[in-house]
Amino acid sequence: MSPSITQPPVICLMGPTASGKTALAMELSDTLPCDIISVDSALIYRDMNIGTAKPTEEELLKYPHRLVDIRDAAESYSVADFCQDAFKEIADIRANNRIPILVGGTMMYFKGLIDGISPLPEANLAIRAEIEQELKDKGLAYIHEQLSQCDPVSAKRIHQNDPQRMTRALEVFRSTGKTMTELTEVKGDKLTGNVLQFALCPSDRSVLHERIALRFEQMIEQGFEQEVAKLMARGDLHQDLPSIRCVGYRQMWQYLQGEVSHDEMVFRGICATRQLAKRQLTWLRSWQNIQQLNMEDKFNLQQVLSSISNL
């Protein structure tokens, strides 16, 4: 993306799950000439609406979100895929002299846009199939050992119970002869121009926990169980897919398979969502050039507008 001091700024609204990011983005849309881009690794999936807290059909009609409903639940979507798509959307919005609003809680997506990502190779389906067969025949420990031999840094960084990332790191080495560690030292395109970053965070963590519990209960009432049952009925989905590993979906899947009780599913779903929020807040504490907003403050809209007017 070529830098230009005349192009509209990019507004990034980050924060943990259930912090009110989407609501603030919609408020900004009522005030500014802007377009919303979703920065959420769960909202990309079609037919996964309730458990992802996706904006309703009515909200999406009034406030269109780009990069929502762009993948089937059986498909994967990498940080590189997101950045490629997001850069296109940002360029398109800016070309129309409008402001891109990036809103979501997938911090790796934001990091890729702001810091740039490494030019990793496209997926090699043949090599990936070989590794997945090895995984099936010989198990996780064998795959981890294979990775340790060719890329010990990645093997140490990636958890031994994370088959997706281990498979990808091994695939990169076998297809290029270079380790993911080597390739990630090279950074690609990143956002240019004025980039305003805001983080909606709780002043009291217990308030966020209450919101998370309430929202999960509301999802149950709205038909979350039926939504996951439909996904299961397809027959081509399983728990190791990125879509089903989304917070809440794995726990509901386990309940529908009879592995846990309903109460245990709810408990685990809320706990998993809290853990996600904790990881998001940990990211944000070390984030550079970000303005903290209290998620309970009714003047957040004014603070964002003030920052824009000061450019």
Q: What is the pLDDT of residues 38-90, one digit of tens each?
A: 999 999 999 999 999 999 999 999 999 999 999 999 999 989 899 999 999 99
What is the pLDDT averaged over residues 254-258? 98
User: Which amino acid belongs to residue 246?
Assistant: C
Closest CA to 284 of 82, 110, 115, 159: 110
Confidence of residue 188 (pLDDT cuts 50, 70, 90): confident
pLDDT tier, 198 (very low <50, low <70, confident <90, very high otherwise): very high
Does residue 3 surpass a pLDDT of 60? no
* pLDDT value at residue 307: 95
The pLDDT tens digits of the residues spanning 102-130 come to: 999 999 999 999 998 877 788 888 999 99
The pLDDT assigned to 57 comes to 96
Residues 181-209 as b/e (b if ≥16 CB within 10 A, e otherwise) read bbeeeeeeebbebebbbbbbbbeeeeebb
Is the pLDDT score of 247 beyond 60? yes
Q: What is the pTM of this model?
A: 0.81
Confidence of residue 304 (pLDDT cuts 50, 70, 90): very high
Do 229 and 31 form a contact (C-beta atoms < 8 A)?
no
Q: Is 5's pLDDT higher than 90?
A: no
Phi, psi of 37 (to 5 degrees): -120, 125
Q: How confident is the model at residue 200 (pLDDT cuts 50, 70, 90)?
A: very high
Q: What is the DSSP string of 102-165?
A: EE-S-HHHHHHHHH----PPPP-HHHHHHHHHHHHHH-HHHHHHHHHHH-HHHHHHS-TT-HHH
Mean pLDDT value of segment 167-187: 87
Distance CA(157)–CA(240), nearest Å, equals 20
Q: 15 CB contacts (<8 Å, ≥6 apart)?
A: 21, 105, 199, 200, 201, 280, 284, 295
Tell which residue, 267, 195, 224, has the closest CA to residue 5. Answer: 195
If you average pLDDT over every residue of the chain, what do you get?
Answer: 94
In the structure, what pLDDT confidence band is assigned to residue 189 with cuts at 50, 70 and 90?
confident
- Residue that wins the pLDDT comparison between 119 and 258: 258
160: pLDDT confidence band, cut at 50, 70 and 90?
confident
Mean pLDDT score, 205-233: 98
pLDDT at 220 over 60: yes
**Beta-carbon neighbour count of residue 156 at 10 Å?**
10
pLDDT tens by residue, 92-103:
999 999 999 999
Which pLDDT score, from 0 to 100, does residue 211 have?
A: 97
- Whether 258 has a pLDDT exceeding 50, the answer reads yes
Express as a percent the part of the chain with pLDDT over 90: 85
Domain annotation for the chain: domains and CATH numbers: 10-117+188-309 (3.40.50.300), 125-183 (1.10.20.140)
Instruction: List, in order, residues 6 or more apart from 34 with CB less than 8 Å away.
Output: 11, 28, 93, 98, 99, 100, 101
Measured from the Cβ of residue 308, the count of other Cβ atoms closer than 10 Å reads 18
Full strand arrangement of the beta sheet holding 291-294:
65-66, 34-38, 99-103, 10-14, 195-201, 291-294
The confidence score (pLDDT) of residue 208 equals 97
Amino acid identity at 200:
L
